[in-house]
Amino acid sequence: MGAASARRFAAGGDCSIVVDRDAERAESVARSIVDGGGAAVSHHVDVANEESVIELADWLRKEHGAVDVLVNCAGLALREGSVVDMTRKAWDLTIAVNLTGTFLMCRHLVPLMAPGSVVVNVSTSGVLRTVSGTDAYIAAKGGVLALTKAMAVSLADRGVRVNVVCPGVFGTEEVEHRLDDPRVMTMLARTAPVGRGYGEPGEFAATVEFLCSPAASFINAAEITVDGGGSA
């Protein structure tokens, strides 16, 4: 979904900075964009590690000067179970990547944003209709939802809009590799009113692109659910 967003922005003439804790994966996405005629570069970043995020911010300041759009879509969903089943390690890691990672990226990249810039955070439609055994993940993504609304108010004086997208199940490699997970199967079984259980990454990217466009200039602190109505 992050790759689809990077490709979407690049197709519109922007330079996409692709970050991932997997340097090879980030480079592969950036290379595919460049090969297709777009502008993109990759950077190795672990969003849960503040030193790594600071290094990214310093590099962006030096190489690009500013950031116009920040899309926080790094995420981690372990098979952690309920609060009585999961380990403290699983809890800490899930919160670190999904919630603290969002905070760190905003903490260090928002200072590079001029008025008119946009932050799009990514939560999940699961906060609206949860699935058993996702306690840490839902806690983290619920935090992202609340953080977004708070940020939208606190960053208003900077002229930076902040919105959050709550996607349902999308046809990504991660989902394909977890079809044996009963939680994923439960979500897929909730066939949305549109007649299919999952969306395509490009549909997520289109939503993100709209939120960052001038057409959405009066949309701030909004929670946009993209799940075909599956959480209704």
3-state helix, strand, coil in the chain (%, to 5): 50, 15, 35
Q: Is the pLDDT of residue 197 over 70?
A: no
pLDDT given at position 207 = 97
Tokens 């919630």 correspond to 99
Residue-wise pLDDT for 136-181, tens only, equals: 999 999 999 999 999 999 999 999 999 999 998 876 666 555 656 7
pLDDT given at position 199 = 86
Domain spanning 67-226 has what CATH number? 3.40.50.720
Cα–Cα distance, 118 to 207 (Å, whole number): 13
pLDDT given at position 172 = 65
Question: And the tokens for 124?
Answer: 């999940």
Question: And the tokens for 189?
Answer: 């079984």
pLDDT tier, 25 (very low <50, low <70, confident <90, very high otherwise): very high
pLDDT given at position 229 = 87
Q: Is the pLDDT of residue 202 over 70?
A: yes
Q: Between 189 and 90, whose confidence is greater?
A: 90
Residue-wise pLDDT for 41-81, tens only, equals: 999 999 999 999 999 999 999 999 999 999 999 998 877 78
Taking a C-beta distance cutoff of 8 angstroms, is the pair 95, 147 a contact? no
Residue extents of the structural domains in the chain = 67-226
Catalytic residue ranges: 137
- The pTM for the full model equals 0.90
pLDDT given at position 176 = 59
Burial class (CB in 10 A: 0-12, 13-18, 19+), 189: exposed
